């Protein structure tokens, strides 16, 4: 059995790392094919988990369009898949790397395993282009590794055969628990390194394409105006490397003092900063999955979510991107709501997801 894993962005690397290691530990031949859709943000994760890519296409170019990225990836991945003769290709989630990886596997008639299958918002434009990517991957997937019961139901509703869907949890919990178990000492030192150990702070992350422009401006204006009146709270913002995100952030936060703007943190550092936060504001997908494990209230700065489990578990609220709604929820978190949302309640798995995925391949051998 020879498995190729195709991935290219930060969150994919975090969620692939436990699977890659588990397959290797079980003596399954596995190759890491990195597209390099992300560069610095990807290598941070590869270094932490000590993964050396077998291929690295180094595809990132500032500001390239989705079509350019897709076109280049399809051509270059095809050469690798023709050469290597994999028995299975694994992709994770819904990025352009995952979509093109699956497409090229399909063109080469290699069966596809889709990790984090079955997430849906029901709105093809939100998140964009991820909702379309994951649906397109689903149509050509051989085995769907779905994180939750709801994800399984989504796939059954789309008429995928029951025996091709495995509920396994989300590998992000495997990665998170590994950090929590192996790196406890580092966590306190990292808080000191960034000077946040005795600060009450909101942790913010933003990057979604559908939030570029006006929605992102609303978010920064609302947070800034709220914080101008709430002087005990700081804002910690590890900035995505996308220049579009940075420009809006720098512009809207100029002159505001209680902010700590950081470069993208490596995963260990990010978990430490997440662990110390008062609460989280984010449009990220992965952070919605991590926050409930740490019992951190999360305001989701999007109009839709494919992760309603955290909302049902009570740890997250879907706030949207309108100024008034953002200020309303920040104000509500001053009261009873904060306690209600701080319960540790993790609907995304038990940290054994990568083992379940690896067991599937062992059974196939
Ligand atoms: C991508 C994924 C998104 C995922 C996100 C995780 C697609 C279409 N989007 O969005 O699904 O949620 O990653 O973060 O697949 N950049 C750097 N260095 C880096 C990474 C990014 O400079 O290491 C800059 C580049 O200017 C790049 C831009 O960020 O052009 C945007 O990167 P891109 O991968 O196109 O989109 P993301 O918003 O990161
Ligand atoms: N993350 C990180 N460093 C940061 C910000 C986020 O390691 O500075 C991690 C975070 O813990 C989560 C993942 O990156 O596991 C989320 O990535 P992102 O928000 O870029 O993508 P999404 O999950 O929305 O696809």
Going from the Cα of 349 to the center of ligand 1, the distance in angstroms, rounded, reads: 26
CA-CA distance, 46 to 51, in Å (whole number)?
A: 5
Domain positions in the chain are: 2-170+350-364, 184-342
The rounded distance, in Å, linking the Cα atoms of 225 and 211 is 19
pLDDT tens readout for residues 128-140: 999 999 999 999 9
Measured from the alpha carbon of residue 268, the closest ligand is 2
Residue 100 CB–ligand 1 contact under 6 Å: no
Question: Over the Cα atoms of the chain, what is R_g?
Answer: 20
**Mutation probe of ligand 2 site: the residue of 37, 286, 316 with most atoms within 8 A of C-beta:** 286
User: Does residue 180 surpass a pLDDT of 90?
Assistant: no
pLDDT of 37 higher than 80: yes
Pocket (CB within 6 angstroms of ligand 2): 10-11, 14, 172, 205, 207, 238, 264-265, 267, 270, 284-287, 290
Report the topology of domain 2-170+350-364.
Rossmann fold (3.40.50)
Of 144, 76, 74, 140, nearest in space to 110 by CA: 140
> Any residues with CB less than 8 A from the CB of 202 and at least 6 apart, and which?
223, 227, 233, 234, 235, 236, 277, 278, 279, 280, 281
Residue 187 scores a pLDDT above 90:
no
Pocket test residue of 241, 247, 264, 267 for ligand 1, highest count of atoms within 8 A of CB: 241
> Is the CB of 41 within 6 Å of ligand 1?
yes
pLDDT above 70: percentage of residues in the chain: 100
Quote the DSSP letter at residue 184.
Answer: H
**Positive or negative, the Cα torsion across 169, 172, 174, 176?**
negative
Higher pLDDT, 312 or 180: 312
What gap in Å lies between CA 163 and CA 140, rounded to an integer? 15
Burial 222-248 (b: 16+ CB within 10 A, else e): bbbebbeeeeebbbbbbbbbeeebeeb
Tens digits of residue pLDDT in 119-164: 999 999 999 999 999 999 999 999 999 999 999 999 999 999 999 9
Mean pLDDT of the chain: 96
Task: Report how far apart, in Å, the C-alpha atoms of 42 and of each of 62, 164, 183 are.
Answer: 15, 30, 20
* Residue 278: pLDDT over 90: yes
Tell me, using a 6 A CB cutoff, whether residue 129 lines ligand 1: yes
Q: Is the CB of 39 under 6 A from ligand 1?
A: yes
Q: Whose CA is nearest to atom 5 of ligand 1?
A: 9
Mean pLDDT, rounded, for 336-354 = 94
Q: What tokens were used for 287?
A: 């952070």
Query: SS3 for 38?
Result: coil
Domain 184-342, CATH: 3.40.50.2000
Q: Name the one residue in this structure whose structure tokens are 């059995």.
A: 1
Q: What is the pLDDT of residue 153?
A: 98
Is the pTM here over 0.95, yes or no? yes
Q: 181 pLDDT band (50/70/90 cuts)?
A: confident
Using 50, 70 and 90 to split pLDDT, how confident is the model at 224? very high
* Pocket test residue of 9, 10, 126, 300 for ligand 2, highest count of atoms within 8 A of CB: 10
Q: Which ligand is nearest to the CA of 243?
A: 1
């Amino acid at each position: 059995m020879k498995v190729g894993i195709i991935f290219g962005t930060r969150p994919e690397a975090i969620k692939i790392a436990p699977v890659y290691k588990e397959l290797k530990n079980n003596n399954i031949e596995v190759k890491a094919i990195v597209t390099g859709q992300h560069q610095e943000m990807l290598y941070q994760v590869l270094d932490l988990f000590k993964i050396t890519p077998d291929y690295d296409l180094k595809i990132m170019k500032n500001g390239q369009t989705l079509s350019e990225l897709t076109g280049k990836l399809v051509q270059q991945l095809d050469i690798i898949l023709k050469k290597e003769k994999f028995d299975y290709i694994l992709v994770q989630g819904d990025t352009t790397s995952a979509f093109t990886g699956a497409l090229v596997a399909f063109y080469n008639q290699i069966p596809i395993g889709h990790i984090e299958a079955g997430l849906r918002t029901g709105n093809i434009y939100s998140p964009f282009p991820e909702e379309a990517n994951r649906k397109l991957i689903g149509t050509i997937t051989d085995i769907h590794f779905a994180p939750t019961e709801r994800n399984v139901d989504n796939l059954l509703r789309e008429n995928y055969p029951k025996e091709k869907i495995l509920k396994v949890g989300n590998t992000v919990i495997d990665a998170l628990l590994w950090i929590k178990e192996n790196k406890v000492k580092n966590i306190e030192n990292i808080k000191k390194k960034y000077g946040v150990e005795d600060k009450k702070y909101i942790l913010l992350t933003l990057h979604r394409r559908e939030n570029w422009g006006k929605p992102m401006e609303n978010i920064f204006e609302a947070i800034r105006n709220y914080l101008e009146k709430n002087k005990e709270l700081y804002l910690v913002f590890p900035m995505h490397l996308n220049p579009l995100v940075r420009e809006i952030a720098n512009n809207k936060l100029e002159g505001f003092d209680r902010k700590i703007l950081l470069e993208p943190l490596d995963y260990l550092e990010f978990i430490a900063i997440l662990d110390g936060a008062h609460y989280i504001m984010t449009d990220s997908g992965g952070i919605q999955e991590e926050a409930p494990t740490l019992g951190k209230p999360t305001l989701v700065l999007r109009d839709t979510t494919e992760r309603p489990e955290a909302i049902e578990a009570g740890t997250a609220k879907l706030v949207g991107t309108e100024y008034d709604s953002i200020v309303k929820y920040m104000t509500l978190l001053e009261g009873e709501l904060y306690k209600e949302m701080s319960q540790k309640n993790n609907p995304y798995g038990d940290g054994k997801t990568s083992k379940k995925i690896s067991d599937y391949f062992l059974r196939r051998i």
